[in-house]
Chains A and B, each alone.
Chain A
Amino acid sequence: MTLSRRDFVRLTAGTGAAAALAQLGRTAAIAAPSGSYRAMVGIFLYGGNDGWNMVVPTDDRHAAYQAARGAVALPRNSLTPLTNASYALHPAMTALRPVWDEGALSLVLNTGTLFAPLTKATYLSRPDLRPSNLMSHSDEQAHWQGLRARDAASDGFLGRMADRMPGGRLPPLISLSGSTLALIGKTAVPLVLPPSGLPGRSGYSTRDTAKNLATALLADSEGGPIMDGVRTTLRDTFDQADLANSVLSGGNSVARHFVDANGRALTSDIAAQLLGAAKMIEARGTLGHSRQTFLLSMATFDHHANQIQGSPIAGDHADQLRALADAMAAFHRAMQALGVGANVTTFTMSDFGRTYASNAQNGTDHAWGNNHLVMGGDVAKGGIFGTYPDPVLGGADDITNEGRFIPGIAQEEYLGAIARWHGVSNADLPYVFPNWQTWSTAGRGPLPLFR
């Protein structure tokens, strides 16, 4: 089944069509890529990426965009155009243009943390329906990763997915950017790797029997769950390190794709992380993985000042989006070369969107709804999901006067679509997404992100 971009916009815009959307979601996800292997690759943009400058309307709304955003507004003629779309990407994201043209990139507009569907009126009248502590980095990160919009979370959606996923010789949930809430399962423990690989265990030899016995006995003390957790982490690391390291440091066919348009090797941290993921995907057979889940990240998107420098198209944010786009495009080429272009889906997450209005220091402040990217050979061609908010400050979607937009799409509808594509069964969706009931009934449901 294929639908035009306009159809998606129409479907998601009107409540009357919402039921059809949910129905569509249920069928669209069944189309299978070749083979049964699937990987999902989440990229968390810490600090709150300014998605309003990542995906920009090019039609009449650009005037309102420019008026509201002021100094940080990107001129229309500077943007990276997307064929047959009335949206464009940040000027620094040209590397993703061929991915769009190929039909392997989709846009998700104004999505965010929601406890229940909200309008401006219900937002104002029903504080009990809002996610707790909106606009707080830590709380909104926890909502994105824990999927409990009004409660503290002690585990995260990727960890809970891994609780129900087949294993392998290494954990199939792999982080290349440290430990974080999203990775904590009730039982599953992730593999956390530095992209550069692990060092060996200095001085270790199986023949040092006296030393090894003392080490083993010292690890065997009665200490309760915190001591147990440390013991398990040490043991698992020593057990897993050699294999993980042989994958990351050994020969591979994917590194050569991580170059820019001029053939120079990509040097950003996100490129290194995506390369690490690509190596683990290439080794999926060796590792015995039929499913893999990756979490990667970029930091310091919290641009309260100097988001742009010199001109609107230059500065820290432009550099970050360039690094992201370059690395994503390289990763996609690597996946295609491995023959799993349609078996891997890459997607972005972030604390929150930023204020549509800029401040006096060429920066933006914390807000709510945000735009995101989904990439992979199985995503809907030319997909644009959700509705761009009313771009007027203090307008229909703005809960303040600075452009903090109520999300039209809940994270469950966004991330749930990817999780289901990845293989989470209908029975397990409420386990992975505790608030699934709200987002799978009454006309709401996973976005039809896939072909």
Chain B
Amino acid sequence: MRRIWTAAALCAAGLLSACDGSSDNINLADSRMTSGLVDLSAANAGLSPAQSQVTDGIRLARQTTFGPTPQVLEQISKLGTEGWLDQQFAARGSTYADLAVARRIDSCKDITCTRRYFSRTTVAMRFYANAVSAPDQLRQRVAFALSQMIVASELEVRSAGGIAGFNQLFLDNAFGNYRTLLKAVTLNPYMGRYLNMAGSSKTAPSENYARELLQLFSMGPNMLNQNGTQRRDATGGTVPNYGPDDIRGVARALTGWDRARIGNVAITNQLAGDDVKPMIPVPDRYDAGEKRFLGTRVPASASQEASIDAVVDAAFNHPSTAPFVSRHLIVHLVTANPSPNYIGRVAAVFADNGQGVRGDLKAVVRAVLTDPEARTAPRNDRGKLKEPVLAMVSLARAIGMTTDGFAFAMRDTGLGQPVMNAPSVFNFYPVDYPLQGSATLYNPASKLLNSSTVLRLHNMMYDWTVRSDAATPEFKAPTGYGAASGTRFAWTTWASFGDNVDAMVAAVDVLLLGNSITPGQRAALRTAALAINEKNSQVRARKRAQMLLYIAATSPQFLVDR
């Protein structure tokens, strides 16, 4: 198994020529693995699927990775929940650092160059290559969750280096301190361009970053109780956390920053802005007067650094920030409908990790994932709909895939979730997007599941299973994006199930369906597999596996994690 991760890590590090298909993948038909899968029912004797330890292992894999694989399930069963989390907290492997290179916007002479350096593509490819096979799965999931709360998008700022540097912040700080992340984001030049803090001047400050820092990145618009419920005033109305004067005060405190210039040319040179290095002070644009906001007073003549720190502290230390950030992480990792008590327990850890430290994300993530509400079967009226990115990558990981990510980056726009290209700072979907027909439940990812995307999702599942033997261009290594390996499927491992269709069905159930299928569904899947009667036994087994994976991946049971 180590060999697989080594290969994956090399891919992730950009040494993509190493991923030429010679790399091993886990052998699903390895006797240890298949017997484990086939014997599931025995292991869980006396327990309903929802109660069983195996099922909770799968649940934990769905919450902490981009989808269960035999390796992950084996590790979880060996290490237990806490041991698995400890292993994941220590794991590294994903990086965008090598892509985070600043370039003058006049540095390209042709469209190939522009596509490579002034679009999201190379960074999105890396995102998917990492998600499919890099070992630091939980770090990536938390980074992905944070990147959907603190949003900057290629839609308005096209810069591969900037996107890479910005997203590296989430990987680096996923288990660090939230204040460190907030400050790094505030001075990040890509965000600076996206929400116009870069260039904001005392003569008439832009309020864009100031407002979204408070509304989306920290406290939210309304005063919250620690359990995430809204505070109410005497009339029953919500209580705003800030008003126009606070926004104005924060905006003034954030004036006087701009991107550094490549080659140290004049700050007025718009061609040479550095999208990677932290922004630099431009003292003559800084409003050095007294600022007041959110109960904070920044005295006249305070330094620019002091003003930034005062803003970051005010956002970070606000009482609503703990439940606001906690809820976001719960929604993205576990459930869109947490109880107030669950939010309250996590928010308490955000406020104090037990050692007097506020904003310790490692402790927060551990609290999110070890909470009883995460570690037991959800109520029957709950469940978490997979967002398209998770659906796509989960299938790939279940099949066993090595990829440079290109096939994914070509598909995600049609599925409504092009990573790093959100439609606005409000992300692809809000955490409070309602469940159709319910006045109380949320179903955030359902904003991305409609007639427009369902067929594309279905066809992607079909193309990546039943039709994956075809020499489709999307699986080839693309040219013009640096070293690339294309996409390969580990069908030989599935073929080695041979005619053991029961084992194949069990594997599909565990990897895609959460160990949840009924005897009737099991029988129907078996019949569907047996309907395939190729003469060649290898081809027969492969095509049966592809059919089972296709049927499972297009089912509601796969799309909703329970």
Contact = CB atoms under 8 A, between A and B. Distances in A.
The answer to whether A and B come from one shared complex is: yes
A203 B557 CA distance: 21
Interface in B234-253: 235, 237-238, 240, 244, 247
B500 interface: no
A217 to B, nearest CB: 4
Contact of A302 (B208, B432, B551): B208
A35 B196 CA distance: 51
A152 B379 CA distance: 24
B527 A361 contact: no
A225 B441 CA distance: 9
Contacts of B17: none
Nearest to A187: B437
A46 B424 CA distance: 9
Interface string A134-158: 0111110000000000101111000
A288 interface: no
B498 interface: no
A365 B251 CA distance: 11
B463 A363 contact: no
Contacts of B195: 304
A432 interface: no
Interface string B530-549: 11000000000000000100
B324 to A, nearest CB: 13
B424 A302 contact: yes
A299 B153 CA distance: 13
B424 A221 contact: no
Given A203-B466, A360-B205, A179 B521 contact: no
A185 B435 CA distance: 10
Given A154-B438, A225-B435, A227-B560, A198 B201 contact: no
Given A211-B547, A361-B199, A229 B455 contact: no
B435 A214 contact: no
Interface in A213-241: 213-215, 217-219, 221-227, 229-231, 233-234, 236-238, 240-241
A61 B71 CA distance: 71
Nearest to B428: A178
A96 interface: no
B436 A219 contact: no
A227 to B, nearest CB: 5
Contacts of B524: 210, 213-214, 217-218
Given A203-B467, A229-B446, A360 B204 contact: yes
A47 to B, nearest CB: 7
Given A215-B551, A222-B380, A223-B560, A365 B208 contact: yes
B458 A201 contact: yes
Interface stretch (A81-89, A106-114, A188-196, A422-430): A188-196
B382 A219 contact: no
A14 interface: no
B424 A203 contact: no
Contacts of A187: 437
Contact of A234 (B199, B425, B441, B556): B556
A198 B156 CA distance: 27
A305 interface: yes
Interface string A165-199: 00000000001001111001111011111100011
Contacts of A127: 237
Nearest to A177: B452
B450 A213 contact: no
B452 A217 contact: no
Contact of A225 (B204, B438, B525, B528): B438
Contacts of A218: 513, 517, 521, 524-525, 551-552, 555-557
B552 A202 contact: no
B5 interface: no
Interface in A390-432: 399-400, 404
Nearest to A159: B436
Contact of B206 (A185, A241, A361): A361
B436 A133 contact: no
Chain B interface bracket (under 10, 10 to 19, 20 to 34, 35 or more): 35 or more
A230 B527 contact: no
B206 A365 contact: yes
Interface SS majority for chain A: loop
B447 A201 contact: no
Contact of A213 (B156, B205, B447, B527): B527
A128 interface: yes
B439 interface: yes
A300 B552 contact: no
B434 A184 contact: yes
A226 B196 contact: no
A113 to B, nearest CB: 14
- Most B CB within 10 A of own CB, among A46, A229, A304: A229
Interface residues of A, number: 80
B392 to A, nearest CB: 16
Nearest to A232: B436
B4 interface: no
B206 A360 contact: yes
A189 B436 CA distance: 8
B435 A226 contact: yes
B233 interface: yes
A46 B153 CA distance: 15
A226 B446 CA distance: 9
A366 interface: yes
B195 to A, nearest CB: 7
Contacts of A241: 451, 455
A299 B423 CA distance: 7
A155 B211 CA distance: 26
Nearest to A141: B426
B555 to A, nearest CB: 4
B242 to A, nearest CB: 10
A303 to B, nearest CB: 9
A211 B524 CA distance: 8
20 contacts: A136-B211, A136-B215, A138-B426, A192-B450, A193-B451, A200-B455, A213-B527, A214-B527, A219-B555, A222-B380, A226-B435, A227-B556, A230-B385, A230-B556, A234-B554, A236-B451, A237-B451, A305-B199, A357-B204, A359-B205
Given A229-B435, A233-B451, 14 more contacts: A132-B221, A132-B238, A133-B240, A135-B211, A135-B244, A155-B434, A181-B434, A192-B450, A214-B524, A219-B555, A221-B518, A227-B556, A238-B455, A305-B208
**Shortest 7 CB-CB distances between A and B: which pairs?**
A192-B450, A304-B208, A218-B555, A360-B204, A154-B434, A210-B531, A214-B524
Interface of B: 155-156, 195-196, 199-208, 211, 215, 221-222, 233, 235, 237-238, 240, 244, 247, 379-385, 416, 423-426, 430, 432-441, 443, 446-452, 454-456, 458-459, 462-463, 466-467, 513, 516-518, 520-521, 524-525, 527-528, 530-531, 547, 550-552, 554-557, 559-560, 562
